Amino acid sequence: MTLIWFLIIGLFVLLATGIPVALAIGIPSLIYVIVDGSIPNFAAVQTMVGGANTYPLLAIPFFIFAGNLMNISGVTTRIFDFSNKLVGHIKGGLGHVNVIASVIFAGMSGAAIADAGGLGTIEITAMRQAGYDDKVTIGITAASSTIGPIIPPSMVAVIYAVIASASVGRLFAAGIIPGLLMGGSLMLLIYLMAGRYTMPLSPKASFKEILHSSKDAFFALLTPGIILGGIFFGIFTPTEAAAIASLYAIILGAFIYREMSWRAFYNAVKDSMSTTVQVMFIVVSATLFAWILAREQVPQAVASFILSKTQNYYLILFAINLILLIVGMFMETVASINILVPVFIPLMQQLGIDPVHFGVMMILNLMIGILTPPFGTVLFVLSSVAKVSVEEVAKDTMIFILPLLAVLALIVLFPQLTLFLPNLIFGQ
């Protein structure tokens, strides 16, 4: 038990020093294996390799690649223009455009960082040029980027599905309604804030202008339909859908919109490889960490401890959500899922909570975490994009976390918000 405390405390100490997440997880795990002495070295290595050697995880590099390609192929600019023609004239103007564009882009990339770094650049530039208050511009761009990992396809959902042995297809379907609720709640807040902050409106587009914009963005808007339609109708698996999304993005950038240069393509490949290596390094390190926790029966101990304090279903869910929110503030999303899913799944089974419902709940908690100091990744991305301090981004984002928390509460209280579409599409 002493070694387990060393493992957990060592993780947070190393995270606090700023060491890369994969090393912060891997180093204490390897020290545990060496000091314990009862675990053969080859078993530890096989556990780590086995964590990455899973077919659904092949989707991760392709979804990352697809997101990067969308940002250089002319897709994001067309999505933003189309969204502006639709809702730019409504009270709140480009704030609504920001959210709608993120909802559409979420159906292509499934990553908050791709949204914040790619589409976010266009959104912030346009809103600043139109004279929008920076508090609104930066805050809504940060908050809307969290829709990406909720609405399918989602890289984070793939990782959760692998760890929890859940259906990727069901998880994808489960994220649609919560993602739309997130977008709707953010738009409602923007509408209510419009009287307090400078938010110029775009001229109301005519039907002809909307039609022209939709024609220009048609192939980009077709992307979510191809990906999700193919998955839900059983034409291809989520892993194959990720590869198809990458190929389609290349076709759009190189042959239809013709805005993708060789240099930009090379940079997209390089960035995708770098991000994939980082993600998979975290996965293999966290797999060993989680295996050690399971070996020491930590999940069962956590479940027993919580159930010994209360049997109340809602109090337990409140405690788990609070833990997830706090962890999301300090730990990277992929690492959090790899470590915490094996800990909480036994408790979810005892409570009778569907793993798909818990998955959406967990991902939303962690998405809120990436909007909060001290380690919110979206804060750092937008700090670079907007050329302001991380503290300023965090301050501007705080008010936009409230609608996300409201959606989280709805999901916790009403599981059918996540389970209705999976049951409708795939059956009970």
- Strand, coil or helix: what is 304? helix
Does a structural domain hold residue 25?
A: no
Of the candidates 84, 110, 125, 124, the residue with the CA atom closest to the CA atom of residue 214:
84
What per-residue confidence (pLDDT) applies to 228? 84
pLDDT less than 70: residues of the chain? 1
What per-residue confidence (pLDDT) applies to 72? 85
> Residue holding tokens 């408790």?
347
For 133, the token pair is 């208050």
- Rounded CA gap, 93 and 76, in Å? 18
Is residue 364 a contact partner of residue 156, using CB atoms and an 8 Å limit? no
Does a structural domain hold residue 34?
A: no
Is residue 357 a contact partner of residue 419, using CB atoms and an 8 Å limit? yes
Q: Does the N-terminal peptide bond of residue 40 adopt cis geometry, omega within 30 degrees of 0? A: no
As to burial, measured by CB atoms within 10 angstroms (0-12 exposed, 13-18 middle, 19+ buried), residue 93 is: buried
What per-residue confidence (pLDDT) applies to 422? 95
Rounded alpha-carbon distances, angstroms, from residue 372 to 152, 329, 388:
23, 6, 16
- Whole-model pTM: value is 0.87
The single-letter DSSP state of residue 297 is T
What tens digit of pLDDT does each residue of 211-246 get? 999 998 899 888 888 888 888 888 888 888 888 988
Does a structural domain hold residue 20?
A: no
Percent helix, strand, coil in the chain (nearest 5)? 80, 0, 20
Does a structural domain hold residue 24?
A: no
The single-letter DSSP state of residue 107 is T
- Rounded CA gap, 62 and 52, in Å? 15
Q: Does the N-terminal peptide bond of residue 374 adopt cis geometry, omega within 30 degrees of 0? A: yes
What per-residue confidence (pLDDT) applies to 1? 59
Does a structural domain hold residue 251?
A: yes
C-alpha Rg value of the chain to the nearest Å: 21
Tally of domains in the chain:
1
> Residue holding tokens 């029966």?
297
- Rounded CA gap, 157 and 243, in Å? 16
Is residue 67 a contact partner of residue 110, using CB atoms and an 8 Å limit? yes
Which runs of consecutive H residues, i.e. helices, occur in 146-261? 155-164, 168-174, 176-193, 207-216, 218-232, 238-251
Does a structural domain hold residue 27?
A: no
What tens digit of pLDDT does each residue of 112-164 get? 777 777 778 888 888 898 889 888 899 999 999 999 889 988 888 999 998 99
- Rounded CA gap, 69 and 382, in Å? 19
Domain of residue 136 covers 40-426
- Rounded CA gap, 337 and 320, in Å? 13
Q: Which residues contact 50 (CB under 8 A, 6 or more apart)?
A: 287
What per-residue confidence (pLDDT) applies to 192? 93
- Rounded CA gap, 77 and 260, in Å? 13
Reported as half-sphere exposure (CB side, CA atoms, 13 A), residue 253 has a value of: 25
